[in-house]
């Protein structure tokens, strides 16, 4: 066994310290990680990584060399399938692929550069609404009434592409289209026949074409301050009066409600004790909507607290197909 003198021990300790320092400095001197590779969503909008617009075309061109495409074209991000790890694209029809590319390009060009700014301000970018109209996606799977009649797959792809760039933007469209519009339109499978029973024919003709053009914006009010997960216990009431209904109650968290033109409101019929739905216009006397401030998530989505104080809804704006809470499940 070697016994070190106190002087040698000090020297050995200094040497060890230096080695540790060197090890530490070499670790800290490594180049910083490129966060955009590991977590694209966390990067500033200005460097939002574009998806592989040209991927399918390049794949065909490259043939067997596709697997080595990245090495063949170093630095060509466009070749990397940043959001198609399972080559899902190959399963789509040419129409679905084209729609996917159209929505992807729109989202990357029009939304990605502005989303951080609007997120910071917690405001909705109203100026992009006319551009969304041009995409022809509002109304999703609804057939007729000026709606696009997309396949369920196409509708899902569109939603995924919008959400890939901005979840708030997809929430806006989902609330308007897949909740508001579908509740007015929805199909109910009865035996072998499919009948549209959400809204009346007159309601569909009146609201859906304008909603498909995003000229009329919709929202969907089910959740209440005391009832979210347990929405079937909701307390907003609808009382029958001559020529219509009087709605009283509150709704919470309702997306788009601060600027929606039509609000689908679920309320308990005081006669039957069942849940019904009503189309409430934004300027109805007794209706008050307050924006929920200081959210930490989905900040571009405008969520509102709704107060309904003796709001009159004419008979023609009661949705005839919603006659119990079970009917809310048929919206799909």
The CB-of-322 to ligand FAD minimum distance in angstroms stands at 14
* 178 near ligand FAD, rule: CB under 6 A: no
* 180 near ligand FAD, rule: CB under 6 A: no
Say how far apart CA 290 and CA 303 lie, in whole Å: 8
Say how far apart CA 95 and CA 219 lie, in whole Å: 30
User: Cβ of 54: how many Cβ atoms within 10 Å?
Assistant: 13
Say how far apart CA 103 and CA 117 lie, in whole Å: 21
C-beta of residue 299 within 8 angstroms of C-beta of residue 227:
no
Pairing mode, strands 244-255 and 237-241: antiparallel
C-beta of residue 288 within 8 angstroms of C-beta of residue 257:
no
Return the range that interacts with ligand FAD (CB under 6 A); candidates 37-45, 121-129, 249-257, 321-329: 249-257
Residues 6+ away with beta carbon under 8 Å from 25: none
The CB-of-253 to ligand FAD minimum distance in angstroms stands at 4
Retrieve residue 265's tokens: 């409101």
Q: Which is nearer to ligand FAD, 228 or 243 (CB)?
A: 228
Place of tokens 């109805």: 284
The CB-of-115 to ligand FAD minimum distance in angstroms stands at 16
In a 10 Å sphere around its CB, with 0-12 CB exposed, 13-18 middle and 19+ buried, how is residue 249 labelled?
Answer: buried
* 55 near ligand FAD, rule: CB under 6 A: no
Say how far apart CA 294 and CA 265 lie, in whole Å: 25
Say how far apart CA 39 and CA 277 lie, in whole Å: 42
* 275 near ligand FAD, rule: CB under 6 A: no
* 113 near ligand FAD, rule: CB under 6 A: no
Residue of closest CB approach to ligand FAD: 228
Helices (H), the chain: 6-28, 35-38, 55-62, 69-72, 94-106, 112-121, 129-135, 152-165, 167-173, 182-185, 201-212
Site size toward ligand FAD (CB under 6 A) is: 14
* 187 near ligand FAD, rule: CB under 6 A: no
- Of 220, 236, 267, 299, the residue at the interface with ligand FAD (CB under 6 A) is 220
* 196 near ligand FAD, rule: CB under 6 A: no
Return the range that interacts with ligand FAD (CB under 6 A); candidates 54-62, 154-162, 218-226, 317-325: 218-226
* 253 near ligand FAD, rule: CB under 6 A: yes
Return the range that interacts with ligand FAD (CB under 6 A); candidates 16-24, 87-95, 219-227, 312-320: 219-227
Binders of ligand FAD among residues 283 to 322 (CB under 6 A) are 298, 301, 303
- Of 52, 177, 203, 223, the residue at the interface with ligand FAD (CB under 6 A) is 223
* 278 near ligand FAD, rule: CB under 6 A: no
Q: Which is nearer to ligand FAD, 51 or 111 (CB)?
A: 111
> How many CA atoms within 13 Å lie on the side-chain side of 28?
6
- Of 255, 265, 299, 302, the residue at the interface with ligand FAD (CB under 6 A) is 255
* 229 near ligand FAD, rule: CB under 6 A: yes
Contacts with ligand FAD, residue ranges (CB under 6 A): 175, 219-223, 228-229, 253-255, 298, 301, 303
């Amino acid at each position: 066994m070697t016994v070190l003198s106190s002087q040698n021990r000090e020297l050995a300790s200094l040497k060890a310290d230096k080695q540790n320092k060197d090890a530490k400095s070499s670790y800290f001197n490594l180049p910083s990680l490129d966060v955009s590779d590991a977590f694209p969503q966390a990067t500033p909008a200005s460097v939002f990584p574009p998806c592989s617009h040209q991927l399918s075309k390049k794949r065909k061109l490259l043939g067997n060399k596709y697997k080595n495409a990245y090495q063949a074209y170093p630095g060509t991000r466009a070749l990397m399938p940043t959001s198609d790890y399972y080559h899902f694209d190959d399963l789509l029809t040419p129409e679905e692929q084209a729609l996917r590319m159209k929505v992807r390009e729109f989202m990357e060009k029009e939304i990605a550069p502005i989303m951080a700014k609007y997120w910071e301000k917690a405001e909705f970018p109203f100026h992009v609404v006319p551009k969304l109209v041009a995409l022809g996606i509002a109304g999703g799977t609804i057939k007729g009434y000026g709606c696009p009649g997309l396949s369920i797959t196409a509708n899902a792809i569109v939603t995924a592409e919008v959400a890939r760039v901005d979840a708030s933007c997809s929430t806006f469209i989902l609330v308007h289209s897949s909740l508001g519009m579908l509740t007015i339109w929805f199909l109910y499978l009865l035996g072998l026949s499919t009948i549209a029973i959400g809204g009346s024919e007159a309601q569909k003709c009146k609201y859906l074409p304008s909603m498909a053009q995003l000229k009329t914006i919709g929202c969907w009010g089910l959740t209440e301050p005391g009832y979210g997960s347990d929405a079937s216990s909701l307390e907003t009431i609808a009382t029958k009066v001559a020529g219509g209904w009087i709605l009283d109650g509150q709704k919470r968290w309702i997306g788009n409600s601060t600027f929606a033109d039509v609000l689908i409101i679920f309320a308990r019929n005081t006669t039957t004790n069942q849940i019904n739905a009503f189309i409430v216009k934004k300027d109805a006397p007794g209706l008050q909507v307050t924006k929920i401030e200081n959210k930490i998530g989905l900040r571009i989505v405008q969520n509102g607290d709704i107060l309904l104080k003796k709001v009159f809804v004419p008979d023609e704006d009661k949705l005839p197909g919603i006659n119990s809470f079970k009917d809310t499940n048929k919206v799909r």
